């Protein structure tokens, strides 16, 4: 392969983008196409075996490369990426690697391994270069830097071409009929206004009110389920509130100023100044082109070692390239500092969030650091973090006051609780101790004396929560009247006193009535949920369905402009629901309910708008090609699945479960902002 490139005329004009392309060429074929056996630029070189596919080893290095590739694939959503967020486990990554091995092996068996010329053409196609504009020296240096060696890189390209050739061979005879394409178009473009009723055990349970005799009988049948296996204790405790103590504490301005002066720069930070470059995606098909352009801009201005770049260089790029006119003319500078959102709401899994969400990442970057391109809406954003903007004393005053008062209140409250505990152990009179310390604690005596119900380890105690420290403090208290040491609880300190102790036992119904009632309701509701849904499905139309649901205490929901494949409200996306809705005319209700998870759904249609067949005629060729591609993908997946099943039955796949478990346990979000991938068409 090297000699093929050594004959190419040198020319550097098309190589500028090639470096960025090389970073991700190993990622471009998803699923079964990418062998990923080459360790791209990453420090892990372990040859420890994770799996073996007919004697072809999948190593820890292979696994790590695939893991980093998938992290980069999702990094366009901004910030740190955890594959678990997207449901990608170590098992799934290993499945991809195993399938990749099977694809390459099958291509070899069928004599579909690519020639040297085909591999060369693939590399040229991926890079956008021509035979007259390829610099072999630059190619070799970039590949060595990012893949370790030219040989390993070209092996990856060889596997990509082999996978494409195998797919073409397997799917050569695939066809779809005009009727299938038309039906698919009609399904996907029909629009409905839907009225639907979720029927859940939780909703039905609310209306179930058993007679006392029924509840007693249920308890007798299940009483061992409610057995207390540990001691129960009732605790009375003296409470000292840090908030109340803090209300009395006065903080002079000189203390606040001293606190402010002692704070470091990071603690005084009000926000950071940020420069940006915005590149808009005019049409979906231009997404890859815009991302490649954004990645190239980052490469021009960022030092690959520090990930930083100068203000002047970034400003020049912003003025010449950013499509946000307001900031471009100012060198990309945003008009206001980026401040940390005190109440962030993370975007749903798999979604990028807003521009403001992406900007939050700059607060965790170093000054001068330049982000990778991140997409939200119809644009890619590149950010450079500028200097911190510091708070003045006046701006920080309230924050300082709260912080210093809380710290001092904690110490004062702890001292009061300690002295109160010692006095209580002497007097044994909690009410008298409360009266004695009430003024100092800034509390009424009645506020200071609290009592729990009978509690056992693991219980959530009102006002205290599930608190291992509290459980440990009351553990040695075994005789009524015993007093424990003071301890920290939410919002203050407590001094516990044992009131009552009960040994493990089967309780009386009255002690656990609420639990028994809830369990009874859930059990009966689960028995009724399917039958209730079937009865509702007999409604004469949407309005009748709504009325019947209300009589049962159920709520009818509506969804406007619903289309096949989209989530239907709380039910989510489900093929059976799609089919049930599509089968209905306006004014009809499905005669059979649909089960989704543990719930049932009854659907009706109030409006139906069918697809325009004239539009189908205009797009028939495009739709036919799309349907063919989907069918080819399905056929190829089934082909590889069948091969894998056969190889597994023959014992040809061996997985080192302990190694996989360790790799899964070690998986974590990347420490720095990952690079965004470049989606390069693979000619599938």
Query: What is the C-alpha separation between 450 and 191, in angstroms, rounded?
Result: 60
User: Is pLDDT at 260 greater than 50 in this prediction?
Assistant: yes
Identify the pLDDT of residue 585.
95
Identify the pLDDT of residue 681.
31
Burial pattern 330-346, b for ≥16 Cβ within 10 A else e, equals ebbbbeebbeeeeeeee
Q: Residues 141-148: what's their mean pLDDT?
A: 60
Q: What is the DSSP annotation of 323-378? A: S-HHHHTTTTB-SS-B---SS--PPPTT----HHHHHGGGGGSPTTBBPPPEEETT
Query: What is the C-alpha separation between 224 and 271, in angstroms, rounded?
Result: 58
In the sheet with 269-280, reading across from the earlier edge strand, the strands are 269-280, 379-390, 374-376
3-class DSSP assignment, residue 580 = helix
Identify the pLDDT of residue 125.
73
Q: Residues 597-612: what's their mean pLDDT?
A: 94
User: Is pLDDT at 456 greater than 70 in this prediction?
Assistant: yes
What is the C-alpha R_g of the chain? 34
126 Cβ partners below 8 Å, 6+ apart?
21, 25, 28, 157, 680
User: Is pLDDT at 656 greater than 80 in this prediction?
Assistant: yes
**Residue (of 109, 107, 93) closest to 167 by Cα position:** 107
Instruction: Give the pLDDT band of residue 591 (cuts 50, 70, 90).
Output: very high
Instruction: Give the pLDDT band of residue 670 (cuts 50, 70, 90).
Output: very low
**Residue (of 23, 58, 52) closest to 37 by Cα position:** 58
Q: How far is CA 615 from the centre of its chain?
A: 38
Identify the pLDDT of residue 39.
34
User: Is pLDDT at 80 greater than 60 in this prediction?
Assistant: no
Query: What is the C-alpha separation between 475 and 467, in angstroms, rounded?
Result: 12
Identify the pLDDT of residue 40.
35
**Polymer length of the chain:** 684
CB 25 within 8 A of CB 38: no
Cα distances (angstroms) measured from residue 103 to each of 31, 110, 229: 10, 11, 56
Cα distances (angstroms) measured from residue 471 to each of 229, 230, 456, 489: 16, 12, 8, 11
Identify the pLDDT of residue 344.
67
CB 383 within 8 A of CB 370: yes
Helix (H) / strand (E) containing 519: helix 513-536
User: Is pLDDT at 490 greater than 90 in this prediction?
Assistant: yes
User: Is pLDDT at 658 greater than 70 in this prediction?
Assistant: yes
For 82-124, the pLDDT digits (tens) are 666 566 788 888 998 899 899 999 999 999 988 888 888 887 7
Identify the pLDDT of residue 126.
65
Tell me what the pLDDT averaged over the chain comes to.
83
In the sheet with 653-655, reading across from the earlier edge strand, the strands are 56-59, 49-53, 653-655
CB 593 within 8 A of CB 602: yes
**Residue (of 296, 264, 289, 433) closest to 19 by Cα position:** 296
For 365-400, the pLDDT digits (tens) are 999 999 999 988 889 999 999 998 888 888 788 888
Instruction: Give the CA count within 13 Å in the CB-facing half-sphere of 318.
Output: 28
Query: What are the residues facing 451 on neighbouring strands?
Result: 236
- pLDDT above 90 covers what percent of the chain? 54
CB 155 within 8 A of CB 37: yes
For 235-249, the pLDDT digits (tens) are 999 999 999 999 999
Query: What is the C-alpha separation between 134 and 16, in angstroms, rounded?
Result: 11
CB 527 within 8 A of CB 520: no
Cα distances (angstroms) measured from residue 617 to each of 446, 526, 653: 81, 49, 48
Query: What is the separation, in whole angstroms, between the first and last Cα of the chain?
Result: 23
Query: What is the C-alpha separation between 321 and 402, in angstroms, rounded?
Result: 46
Identify the pLDDT of residue 393.
87
CB 58 within 8 A of CB 94: yes
Identify the pLDDT of residue 77.
47
609, two tokens: 């708008």
């Amino acid at each position: 392969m090297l000699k093929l490139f050594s004959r190419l005329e040198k020319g550097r004009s098309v190589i500028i983008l090639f470096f960025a392309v090389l970073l991700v060429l190993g990622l471009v074929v998803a699923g079964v196409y990418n062998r990923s056996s080459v360790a791209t630029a990453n420090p892990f070189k372990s040859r420890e075996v994770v799996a073996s596919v007919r004697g072809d080893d999948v190593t820890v290095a292979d696994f790590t490369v695939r893991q980093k590739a998938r992290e980069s694939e999702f990094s366009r959503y901004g910030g740190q990426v955890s594959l678990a967020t997207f449901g990608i486990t170590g098992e799934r990554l290993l499945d991809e690697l195993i399938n990749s091995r099977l694809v390459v092996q099958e291509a070899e068996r069928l004599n579909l391994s690519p020639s040297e010329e085909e591999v060369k053409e693939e590399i040229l196609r991926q890079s956008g270069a021509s035979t007259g504009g390829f610099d072999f020296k630059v190619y070799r240096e970039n590949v060595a830097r990012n893949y370790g060696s030219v040989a390993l890189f070209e092996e990856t390209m060889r596997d990509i071409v082999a996978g494409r050739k195998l797919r073409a061979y397997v799917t050569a005879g695939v066809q779809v009929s005009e009727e299938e394409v038309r039906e698919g178009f009609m399904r996907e473009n029909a629009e409905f206004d839907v009225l639907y009723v979720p029927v859940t055990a939780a909703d039905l349970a609310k209306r179930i009110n058993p007679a006392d005799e029924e509840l007693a009988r249920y308890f007798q049948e299940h009483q061992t389920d409610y057995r207390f296996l540990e001691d129960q204790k009732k605790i009375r405790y003296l409470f000292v509130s840090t908030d109340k103590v803090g209300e009395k504490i006065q903080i002079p301005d000189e203390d606040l100023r001293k606190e402010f002066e002692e704070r470091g720069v990071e603690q005084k930070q009000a926000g950071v100044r940020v420069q940006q470059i915005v590149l808009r995606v005019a049409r979906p098909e231009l997404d890859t082109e815009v991302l490649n352009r954004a990645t190239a801009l980052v490469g021009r201005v960022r030092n690959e070692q520090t990930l930083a770049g100068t203000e002047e260089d970034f400003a020049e790029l912003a003025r010449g390239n950013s499509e946000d006119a307001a900031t471009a003319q100012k060198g990309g500078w945003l008009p206001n500092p980026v401040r940390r959102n005190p109440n962030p709401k993370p975007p749903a899994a798999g979604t990028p969030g807003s521009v403001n969400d992406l900007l939050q990442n700059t607060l965790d970057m170093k000054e001068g650091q330049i982000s990778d391109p991140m997409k939200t809406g119809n644009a890619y954003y590149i950010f450079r973090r500028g200097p911190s903007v510091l708070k003045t004393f006046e701006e920080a005053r309230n924050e300082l006051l709260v912080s210093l008062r809380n710290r001092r209140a904690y110490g004062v409250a702890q001292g009061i609780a300690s002295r109160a505990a010692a006095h209580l152990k002497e007097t044994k009179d909690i009410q008298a101790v409360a009266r004695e310390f009430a003024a100092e604690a800034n509390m009424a005596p009645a506020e200071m004396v609290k009592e729990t119900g009978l509690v056992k380890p693991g219980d959530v105690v009102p006002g205290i929560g599930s608190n291992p420290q509290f459980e440990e403090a009351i553990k040695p208290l075994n005789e009524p009247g015993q007093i424990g040491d003071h301890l920290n609880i939410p919002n203050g300190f407590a001094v516990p006193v044992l009131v009552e102790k009960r040994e493990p036992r089967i309780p009386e119904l009255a002690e656990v009535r609420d639990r028994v009632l809830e369990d009874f309701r859930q059990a009966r509701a689960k028995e009724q949920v399917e039958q209730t849904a079937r009865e509702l499905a007999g409604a004469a139309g949407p309005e009748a369905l709504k009325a019947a649901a209300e009589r049962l205490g159920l709520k009818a929901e509506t969804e406007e402009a619903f289309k096949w494949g989209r989530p239907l409200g709380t039910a989510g996306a489900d093929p059976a629901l799609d089919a049930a809705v599509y089968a209905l005319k306006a004014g009809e209700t499905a005669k059979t309910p649909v089960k989704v998870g543990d719930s049932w759904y009854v659907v009706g249609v109030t409006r139906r708008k069918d697809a325009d067949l004239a539009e189908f005629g205009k797009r028939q060729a495009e739709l036919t090609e799309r349907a063919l591609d989907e069918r080819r993908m399905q056929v190829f997946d089934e082909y590889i699945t069948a091969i894998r099943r056969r190889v597994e039955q023959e014992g040809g796949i061996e997985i080192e479960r302990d190694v996989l478990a360790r790799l899964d346990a070690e998986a974590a979000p990347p420490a720095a902002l990952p690079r965004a991938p470049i989606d390069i068409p693979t000619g599938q």
